[in-house]
Amino acid sequence: MAFNDAFLEELRAKNEISEVIGSYVNLKRAGRLYKGLCPFHGEKTPSFTVYPDTQSFYCFGCGAGGDVVTFIRKAENLDYIEAVKLLADRSGVRMPDSGYDDSMLKRRNRIYEINKEAAHFFFRQLTDEQNRHALQYYFNRGYTFDTIKHFGLGYAPDSWDALKKHLNELHYSNEELYAANLLKKSAKGGYYDNFRGRVMIPIIDIRGRVVGFGGRVMDDSKPKYINTSDTLAYKKTHQIFAMNFAKNHCKDAIILCEGYMDVIALHQAGFENAVASCGTALTPEQVRTIAKYTDTVILSQDADEAGRKAVDKSIALFGEVGIKVKVLNVQGAKDPDEYIQKFGADRFKALLEGAETDTEYKLLLAKQKYDLTSPAQLADYVGEAARILSELSPVKRDIYASEIAEQTKVSKQAILSESKRFAGKAARTKRREMNRSAMQMQDDKDKINPEKRRHKAAALAEEHIIAVLMNHPDCIRTVSANLTEEDFVTAFNRHIFAVITRRIREGKSLNLSAVAQELSEEELGTLAGLEAMGKSLGNPQRELLECITTLKEEKLKLVQPDLAHMSDEEFRKLFEN
Ligand SMILES: [Zn+2]
């Protein structure tokens, strides 16, 4: 997949990195750089940095880094060619006609096509007289035909090969249909339809492509849902159901529901900001996607034990990215769908407006656990409430403490001092956790170059040499005179070094977009970090010589020969070296 340097140069020039990243991340200028909250890991203080002069980015928290193409790859979950295409389209740069391998892209686009055809097929089945019961199922749920069309709902007939036959006629091969997870393979190697006798809900991504399906039984049989497993076109941990519609209606808030059916019912009732995760518990990736569109989330989970656990986990996940969380208290119905059917949309709207903040929700749950007429349990409740308040700002703590004091007749002062004690303890735990997570991140970075742990001094010297070269390619003469690839101790750095020194000698550009094609994502991330570090080195020439000496010493330790058993000839050679 070799794009020529001239094309990449044009692509880079027309897609100014701070502008492109600025549409994903809220960037603040800091001198010659920009800083913001990293979109690739949860953080509250910005360690994500954009360098306009080298058109690169690097996160000091998680080690993600690279050029504008790398950023798009990671942010949009695309492969290299797709990311290049997206940037070319965005900026009106013409893609080269040939010379790159886009077979992966073609296979993925083929899956989108197949999914679309399958969705049409499932929809048509609904209007078929012999599948009347499926249409009736939707009507029984209260869905109108407009809603069915809007979501492209359908029905997979109870047949082993109805879809297979239809798509084969359209010249899609069984292997392709299998890759889209629409067919399954029997032990004997035959193919059959994955979805049978189920109502079908297409999952559509933000760009309007059908990426997968959820299929639900119409009775109480199990499994209730079958979902498309991950394919080239679909990663369920990244996908959010109905985000394609909700993205235009969610300035104020997003309603996060438990399942597809709740979402569809809410949209029909006029709440077009409702979404759901796709057959998984909420993931950090989904949280970050939601965070791109809104700063408030209203959680609408079933009122059972599993639902409460999901709420707790979601509050924590959204908290990590600074999203405000409210919790819907659906009473008198098992889920929002049923609530709207029973009480109507207006009552649901009132419910939304009265949604509890995460603090109110936690306090309510705590209160329900205890019998407040018993002094011992009352004390336990106040203790738990004080712990909940300890997570709040002093002002909010004060407000809630007044309320609890009134409820329990315990003095506000006592509640406040108890929660202060908790806050202090929590702060200490948090510091320890942060240290641990910093160490964890360092470990993760070490995983990228696994030899670094054993050969720390050598690896650091190698990294500094690369850092100097990235910023001062003319230092190549000093390097060439003193060092070869073979002197490198860690294979990971050796490869980066080989690539950049070869490019310097060939007179090729060292900008990350150009180098990206020759390096893995991890190598490029590391290189972006080293390039950033290299900017702050005082005297590059001296730094370089010191690091070369260190590296040679370290290398020598590793190959320390057995002097006692060496021939004169060998000794002379070693000495000359
Ligand atoms: Zn990061």
For residues 386 and 405, give the distance between their C-alpha atoms in angstroms, rounded to a whole number: 11
Q: Do the beta carbons of residue 201 and residue 216 sit within 8 Å?
A: yes
Confidence (pLDDT) at 563: 61
Q: What tokens were used for 170?
A: 């359209």
Determine the distance separating the centroid of ligand 1 and the alpha carbon of 310, expressed in angstroms.
Answer: 25
For residues 145 and 489, give the distance between their C-alpha atoms in angstroms, rounded to a whole number: 67
For residues 362 and 356, give the distance between their C-alpha atoms in angstroms, rounded to a whole number: 9
Determine the distance separating the centroid of ligand 1 and the alpha carbon of 55, expressed in angstroms.
Answer: 17
Q: Do the beta carbons of residue 516 and residue 69 sit within 8 Å?
A: yes
Q: Do the beta carbons of residue 266 and residue 349 sit within 8 Å?
A: no
CA distances from 539 to 517, 529, 564 (A): 31, 19, 41
Determine the distance separating the centroid of ligand 1 and the alpha carbon of 37, expressed in angstroms.
Answer: 8
Q: What tokens were used for 459?
A: 């690896």
Identify the burial level of 361 via C-beta atoms within 10 angstroms of its C-beta, where 0-12 means exposed, 13-18 middle and 19 or more buried. Answer: buried
Determine the distance separating the centroid of ligand 1 and the alpha carbon of 38, expressed in angstroms.
Answer: 5
Q: Do the beta carbons of residue 521 and residue 72 sit within 8 Å?
A: no
Determine the distance separating the centroid of ligand 1 and the alpha carbon of 338, expressed in angstroms.
Answer: 41
Dihedral class, residue 99 (left if φ above 0, else alpha if ψ from -120 to 50, else beta): left
Determine the distance separating the centroid of ligand 1 and the alpha carbon of 431, expressed in angstroms.
Answer: 19
Determine the distance separating the centroid of ligand 1 and the alpha carbon of 373, expressed in angstroms.
Answer: 49
What are the beta bridge partners of residue 276?
Answer: 241, 257
For residues 96 and 443, give the distance between their C-alpha atoms in angstroms, rounded to a whole number: 40
Determine the distance separating the centroid of ligand 1 and the alpha carbon of 56, expressed in angstroms.
Answer: 14
CA distances from 42 to 45, 46, 48, 285, 444 (A): 10, 10, 11, 10, 15
CA distances from 357 to 62, 326, 328, 388 (A): 31, 4, 9, 12
Triad 504, 506, 511: Cα angle to 5°? 45
Q: Name the DSSP class of 248.
A: T
φ, ψ for residue 65, nearest 5 deg: -170, 170
Determine the distance separating the centroid of ligand 1 and the alpha carbon of 344, expressed in angstroms.
Answer: 44
Contacts of 273 (CB under 8 A, 6+ apart): 246, 249, 250, 252, 253, 254, 255, 294
Determine the distance separating the centroid of ligand 1 and the alpha carbon of 574, expressed in angstroms.
Answer: 46
In which element (H, E) is residue 577 found?
A: none
For residues 398 and 569, give the distance between their C-alpha atoms in angstroms, rounded to a whole number: 83
What are the beta bridge partners of residue 274?
Answer: 255
Q: Do the beta carbons of residue 295 and residue 321 sit within 8 Å?
A: no
Determine the distance separating the centroid of ligand 1 and the alpha carbon of 320, expressed in angstroms.
Answer: 13
DSSP H helices in 278-411: 284-293, 305-320, 336-343, 345-353, 358-369, 375-389, 394-408
For residues 346 and 245, give the distance between their C-alpha atoms in angstroms, rounded to a whole number: 21
Q: Which of 444, 386, 374 is nearest to 413 (CA)?
A: 386
Q: What tokens were used for 13?
A: 């020039």
Determine the distance separating the centroid of ligand 1 and the alpha carbon of 42, expressed in angstroms.
Answer: 7
Residue type, 108: R
Total length of the chain: 577
Q: Do the beta carbons of residue 58 and residue 34 sit within 8 Å?
A: no
Determine the distance separating the centroid of ligand 1 and the alpha carbon of 60, expressed in angstroms.
Answer: 7
For residues 217 and 222, give the distance between their C-alpha atoms in angstroms, rounded to a whole number: 8
Determine the distance separating the centroid of ligand 1 and the alpha carbon of 72, expressed in angstroms.
Answer: 14
Q: What tokens were used for 393?
A: 């700002």
pTM for the whole structure: 0.73
Determine the distance separating the centroid of ligand 1 and the alpha carbon of 437, expressed in angstroms.
Answer: 13
Determine the distance separating the centroid of ligand 1 and the alpha carbon of 45, expressed in angstroms.
Answer: 11
Domains of the chain in sequence order: 5-91 (3.90.580.10), 104-227 (3.90.980.10), 242-357 (3.40.1360.10), 370-433 (no CATH), 451-558 (1.10.860.10)
Q: Which of 495, 493, 503 is nearest to 463 (CA)?
A: 493
Determine the distance separating the centroid of ligand 1 and the alpha carbon of 62, expressed in angstroms.
Answer: 4
Give the count of alpha carbons within 13 A of 481, CB side only: 7
Q: Do the beta carbons of residue 126 and residue 134 sit within 8 Å?
A: yes
Give CA 552 to chain center in angstroms.
41
Per-residue pLDDT of the chain (577 residues; tens, 9 = 90+): 578 888 988 999 999 999 999 988 889 999 889 999 998 887 778 889 999 988 999 998 888 899 999 999 988 878 888 899 999 999 999 998 877 778 888 899 999 999 999 999 999 999 999 999 999 999 999 999 999 999 999 999 999 999 999 999 999 999 999 999 999 999 999 999 999 999 999 999 988 999 999 999 999 999 999 999 999 999 898 899 999 999 999 989 999 998 999 999 999 999 999 999 887 889 888 988 898 888 899 999 877 788 888 888 999 888 877 788 999 888 888 888 889 989 999 999 999 998 888 888 889 888 888 998 999 999 999 999 999 999 888 888 999 999 999 989 999 999 999 999 999 988 888 888 777 777 777 776 677 788 888 888 999 999 999 999 999 999 999 999 989 999 999 999 999 999 999 999 998 888 888 888 888 888 888 898 898 888 877 788 888 999 999 999 888 888 766 565 666 776 677 666 5
Contacts of 155 (CB under 8 A, 6+ apart): 122, 125, 126, 131, 134, 135, 198, 199, 200
Q: What tokens were used for 271?
A: 């709440």
Determine the distance separating the centroid of ligand 1 and the alpha carbon of 49, expressed in angstroms.
Answer: 9
By three-state DSSP, how is residue 259 classified?
coil
For residues 306 and 429, give the distance between their C-alpha atoms in angstroms, rounded to a whole number: 28
Confidence (pLDDT) at 296: 93
